[in-house]
Each structure stands twice: as C-alpha cells, then as structure tokens.
C-alpha cells in the first residue's frame, strides 16, 4: 500500500479536464454507506495454485514504481506502452484509458481539479492524462473510485460508475488500460464484487468483474495492453495478490488473508485482475528488500514462482507467447521455488535471479536469459563481509538494497558463499540470516544481473560450550594419577536447528591423537547436549580443550546450505600430591603464591610480589603450587568447576544508514 506525499508541478490543463468529466453525461449515484474495515480471518489456503496456460492475447506492462515525467528512462517506459497501443490501434491514433481508483477519493472540488499538487483519484487522472498526451495519444480518464456515492457536490468519480453504460463504452474504445499507483486494495473494492469470510478486510475467496472491469478485460484479451505502476502493477496479478507487509514480520509470522494498516504480510486470496498469471509479483522491490515477503507469501500460498520489479523499471509481458523482457533503469527479480524446503521459519533451495535491462524470461520453459555476455566463472574481487541489518529495518535505521548488494558483491568476488543477518532488536527476534550460494550453473554479468543464485533464509545459527571437571578442588587441583572426568555441555544458542553436533577434545600436552564424541540427533534452538571425556591426571599444569560444531538444518534435518557453526571451551587443572598445611605456597584456601616465595607469609596469605589468583611456581617442599589460574582461566579460580565459555558466532556490530522508504504517488 502507498501514500502519496510529493508535490507536483503545475499543469494548465487540470481544470479543463475536470470540467470535461463533469460535463460528460455520467449520472451521479445516490448516497450509500461505506464498508467498515475489519480484521482478517486466520485461514490460509492450502491448495496448490497452478499457473494458467496461454491467455487470449495482449500485453502487460508491469512497472515497479518511481516513474516521473521528463525523466528519460520513465519516458521510454511510457513510450513502450504507447507503441504497444499503436499496434492494437492498427494505424489510428491510440487511446489510453487512465484508471486511478487505487488512489483515495477526492475530498473536495478544489483538490480534485489540481493534478499538480494533490493526490486523489480525480487529480491523478489529470496528472497521468497530461503525461500520456505528451506522447501523442488520446486519453480517457475513467471516473471511478472506491466510494459508491459522491464525496462532494458534483463529484464525477464514484464506484457506481463501474456499471455505467457510457463508462463501459468509453473503455471498450481504448487500446490500452493504465492503472495508477496508490493502494491495490482500493482497485478491488472499486472494480470487483467479492465474497468470502470477511469482505470488509478483503479476506475474500471469490470476486466477479464489474461491467467496467469486464470491458477492460475485453480490450486486453483482444490484443490490447494493460499497464500500471506500483499498486497498478500489483493489481494485475491473480490469486494471492499481496497487499502489504514489512520484510522481517512477513518472514517470521507468515501471511494472513486480508488488507491491513500494520506491518503484517497481507494478501487477497481471490487475487487481483489476473492480467498477469505467471506468478506472484511485487513492486519497489530490492530497494525496499522485499525478497522475504514475496517468497514467504509464495510458500504459504504453495505457489512456486514469484517476481519483483524495481523502480523506474518495467517487465513487458507478451501474454500469448508467455515471454517477458526487462526495460528501464534497474532490474526484475525472479524466484523459482520448486526445489525449496521450508519448515515454517527456515527455507533453503530458493533459486534467485536478477534480470537487468535487455534480459528476457520464457515463462513456459521457466528459463531466463541475461543481457550482455554472462559468465559462470567466479569474479576476482575479495569476498564480501557479512552484511548487518540486511533488510534495512526501521528498528536499526538500515539502508536499502541490502540483499541485492550482497548478491552482486558475492558474484563479482572469488567467493562461493556470503551471508547477512537481520537487525538485532527486541522487536525483531529471533535474528534471521540470508545465505547466498554460487551454484555450478550460476551466471552473472557486469551490469549486476545474475541467474540461478541459491538463497537460504533461516534463523541465525550459534552454539556455546562449557567444560567442567568433576571433583576438582577449590585450588583447581586433582590427585596425581587419578582419572579426570570432564563434562562438555553444548547449547544451541541460535535460532536454527543443528545437525551432527559433535565435540572434539585435544590433549593437554603434545600428543598424537584427539578424542571425538559421537554425534547425536538434531539439536533444537535452546536445547543442550552433554558429552563426557576422561583424562589421566599427570603431574603439573594441564589444560583440556574441546571444539564443538554443528550444521544448520531444518526441523526435519535437511541441510540449509550454510556454513557449520563452531565454538570452543577449555578447562585447566593441576595434578598434585597432597601438601602439608601451612608449609608455604598457597596455604589452605589462600591465593596463589609467586613461585616458592608463597611460603613467606602465614597460611592462606600470598607471598611478596604475588598476584592473587594468578601466580605459579614450585613450593620449596617439592609440592606443586596451583597453576590452574594462569590466563585465561584465572577468573574461575576458587570455583568447584573451572570453565570457559566461547560463543561460536561473532557479535554483530550494527551501523545503520537511515532507511529510505520513499512513499510517493508512484510508489506502493
């Protein structure tokens, strides 16, 4: 959904077009009540959604938003629409029907007549009409908004006009239909009649065309054009049309049927107008890091294809041929989910492509052709550093293009894998990780395009370990010649299950072997597992070290195409013969002495120059002074068990450039 805030330059034709609408002979409907907003029912469809076969004909131009008059790239996109409309007009001057029901209804005549300053359905009809006229076409502003009755005296835009015979006739004489930005939910309310569990929130499962929409469908099916930007892009898809959602809550919480004013991932089960039927589609895409929301929606809906279009960029679709080509400034993202595994939070096997201008898609063959001279060879750059706040959360004030930037940096480098984590904030827990993998057939070009990159979206993995010695004294000693019993506890401190968790111990002195504990079953987040080791206690200081590791996996044990996580723990102790009380050294329960000088003081006192808990040396009587407090273990001195915990993942330092989430008339 989109709000429009940016002002426009003045246009001299605004009042003339508004007057023409008022004089157009369209009857004004009587007053009627507005539907109240409500909450969506929790039901989520489970049936497989399949793509339709070839459509009767026509073209669809899907613009990701952000187009502006006089911008050369934007003008080229508008010209694409005009050229396709000319082909349908068969030599005559083409006619474009401008539909702006996705915008709010005009509140008064003053704002309705000013297409330069105000954002409403009537003013936007003026704005787009002026723009298309500069390309030499005839324009018909379709006088429909979502309200069934006039919003001010003489208001020409109402929902009831969707059944007016003259409006229908005017639409049928057009060669192209252009849908402006705003909120795609308003298009559903204005141009469809729907039923389902909660129509007020658009949790609807069945929708029928109004006469006006049926006329638009006849134009497009007959070889004409449907085009639209932002919300005008979104409304052109079929079942499961997205209505909103921020990246993090969309992934964590999943999709809910309906249209909402908060951060939830919403969708209309019955869908939009279905001029584009090759998969789900979203706008303002990589700029706003919308990869997680469209992929999550597709998986929840059991659809295996999804797309996202960048600002000032368009996907031009030949519906009969089932092909598409990319035009404009940036690119189009494509996701193939046929090989994806998903357990409710963790997904892997997502095929991610980004198609720059000149690239093409064959929807029937499910193939993408990159523009330029793509290669499968690694790049020559250095591996990208792990990204922080990869989805640019408002909780961390992150940036834009996080996932796309990481993907492009990976492919231009000599690395095979890269990852980035989400914002660390209480409102976004657990932390999530995006992992990108270069596959054998992954292609990329120098323009930043790529095809067949493998992506996982999961919880962030982490592991911790502690080591404890059974029966150790307060001074950190064990009887010489005894067997030390050591327990290593491994805790899954991350947000993703770990498979193949193991602990590998290393000898305390130079040796020839290591000891490895047997692997266990899947270790779920928050769970712990213990491993037991033994060591023969020898004379003097010795250290037990253990490395632990686990492989991130889904809850059913499938690998997630991520690096293993690891951690370490160690414990120090001293093998000693029993000493006589008060004969020097540390004394009973005292601090560590500094070598043999520890006996200069009374029992329990440190000798001259000693560091409490940190000294070591030989006692004059021949007994060993305590050495278990040597760095880095001294902070555990005096404890019944000596342990060091080392986390398996580095702490994340967040630097957040303010996230640009521009919302304009042309943005959704």
Mind listing the pLDDT tens digit for each residue in 524-534? 999 999 999 99
In sequence order, which residues have a C-beta less than 8 Å from that of residue 530 and are 6 or more positions away? 487, 488, 489, 490
Strand 450-459 and strand 432-437: the pairing is: antiparallel
Q: Chunked in runs of 10, what are the mean pLDDT values of the chain (668 residues)?
A: 35 36 37 32 34 68 98 98 97 96 98 96 98 98 98 97 98 98 98 98 98 99 98 98 98 98 97 98 97 98 98 98 98 98 95 99 98 97 96 89 98 98 94 97 98 98 96 93 95 95 73 56 94 93 94 92 95 84 41 35 36 35 31 34 36 34 40
Tell me whether the omega of the peptide bond preceding residue 407 falls within 30 degrees of 0, making it cis: no
Q: What angle do CA 213, 159, 77 make, to 5 degrees?
A: 50
Residue 373 and residue 78: Cα distance in Å, rounded? 28
Contact 390, 289 (CB under 8 A): yes
Q: What is the pLDDT of residue 91?
A: 84
The predicted structure's pLDDT at residue 581? 56
Helix (H, G, I), strand (E, B) or coil at 444: strand
Q: What percentage of the chain reaches a pLDDT higher than 90?
A: 74
Structure tokens at 643: 């342990």
Question: What percent of the chain stands above pLDDT 70?
Answer: 76
pLDDT score recorded for residue 592? 34
CB 222 within 8 A of CB 57: yes
Helix/strand/coil for 493: coil
Cβ–Cβ under 8 Å, residues 448 and 354:
yes
- Per-residue pLDDT, 519: 65
How is residue 375 annotated by DSSP?
B
pTM of the model: 0.79
> CA angle 430-296-659, nearest 5°?
65
DSSP single-letter state for residue 309: E
At residue 643, the pLDDT reads 37
């Amino acid at each position: 959904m989109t709000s429009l805030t940016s002002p426009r330059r003045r246009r001299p034709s605004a009042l003339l077009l508004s007057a023409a609408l008022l004089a157009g002979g369209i009857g004004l409907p009587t007053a009627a009540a507005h539907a109240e907003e409500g909450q969506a029912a929790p039901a989520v469809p489970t049936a497989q959604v399949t793509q339709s076969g070839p459509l009767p004909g026509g073209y669809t131009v899907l613009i990701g938003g952000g187009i502006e008059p006089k911008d050369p790239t934007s003008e080229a996109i508008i010209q694409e629409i005009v050229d396709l409309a000319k082909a349908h007009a068969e030599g005559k001057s083409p006619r474009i029907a401008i539909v702006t029901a996705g915008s709010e209804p005009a509140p008064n005549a003053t704002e309705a007549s000013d297409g330069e300053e105000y954002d409403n359905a009537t003013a936007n009809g003026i704005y787009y009409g002026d723009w298309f006229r500069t390309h030499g076409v005839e324009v018909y502003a379709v006088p429909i908004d979502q309200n069934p009755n006039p919003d001010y005296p003489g208001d020409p835009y109402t929902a009831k006009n969707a059944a007016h015979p003259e409006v229908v006739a005017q639409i049928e004489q057009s060669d192209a239909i252009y849908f402006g930005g705003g909120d795609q939910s308003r298009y559903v309310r204005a141009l469809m009649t729907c039923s389902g569990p909660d129509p007020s929130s658009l949790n609807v499962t069945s929708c029928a065309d109004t006469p006006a929409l049926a006329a638009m469908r006849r134009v497009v099916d007959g070889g004409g054009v449907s085009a639209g930007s932002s919300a005008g892009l979104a409304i052109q898809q079929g079942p499961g049309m997205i209505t909103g959602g921020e990246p993090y809550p969309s992934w964590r919480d999943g999709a809910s049927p309906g249209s909402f004013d908060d951060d939830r991932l919403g969708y209309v089960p019955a869908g939009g107008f279905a001029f584009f039927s090759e998969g789900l589609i979203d706008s303002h895409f990589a700029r706003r890091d919308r990869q997680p929301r469209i992929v999550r929606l597709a998986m929840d809906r059991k659809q295996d294809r999804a797309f996202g279009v960048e600002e000032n960029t368009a996907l031009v679709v030949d519906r009969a041929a089932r092909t598409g080509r990319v035009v404009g400034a940036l690119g189009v993202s494509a996701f193939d989910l046929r090989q994806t595994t998903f357990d409710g939070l963790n997904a892997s096997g997502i095929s991610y492509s980004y198609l720059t201008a000149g690239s093409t898609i064959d929807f029937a063959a499910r193939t993408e052709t990159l523009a330029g001279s793509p290669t499968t060879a690694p790049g020559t750059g250095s591996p990208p550093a792990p990204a922080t706040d990869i989805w640019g959360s408002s909780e961390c004030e992150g940036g834009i293009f996080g996932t796309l930037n990481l993907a492009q940096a990976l492919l231009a480098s000599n690395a095979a894998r890269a990852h980035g984590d989400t914002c660390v904030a209480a409102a976004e827990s657990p932390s999530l990780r995006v992992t990108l993998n270069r596959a054998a057939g992954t292609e990329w070009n120098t323009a930043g395009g790529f095809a067949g990159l493998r992506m996982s979206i999961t919880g962030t993995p982490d592991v911790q370990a502690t080591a404890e010695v059974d029966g150790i004294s307060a001074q950190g000693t064990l009887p010489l010649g005894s067997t030390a019993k050591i327990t290593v506890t491994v805790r899954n401190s991350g947000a993703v299950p770990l498979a193949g968790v193991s602990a590998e111990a290393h000898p305390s002195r130079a040796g020839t072997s290591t000891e490895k504990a047997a692997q266990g079953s899947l270790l779920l987040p928050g769970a712990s597992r213990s491993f037991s080791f033994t060591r023969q206690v020898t004379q003097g200081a010795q250290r037990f070290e253990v490395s632990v590791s686990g492989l991130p996996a889904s809850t059913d044990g499938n690998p997630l195409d991520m690096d293993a996580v690891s951690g370490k723990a160690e414990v120090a102790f001293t093998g000693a013969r029993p000493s006589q009380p008060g004969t020097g050294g540390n004394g009973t329960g005292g601090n560590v002495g500094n070598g043999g000088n520890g006996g200069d003081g009374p029992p329990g006192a440190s000798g001259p120059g000693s560091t409490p808990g940190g000294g070591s040396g030989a006692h004059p009587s021949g007994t060993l002074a305590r050495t278990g407090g040597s760095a880095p273990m001294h902070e555990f001195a005096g404890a019944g068990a000596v342990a060091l915990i080392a986390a398996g993942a580095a702490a994340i330092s967040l630097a957040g450039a303010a996230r640009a989430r521009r919302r304009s008339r042309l943005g959704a």
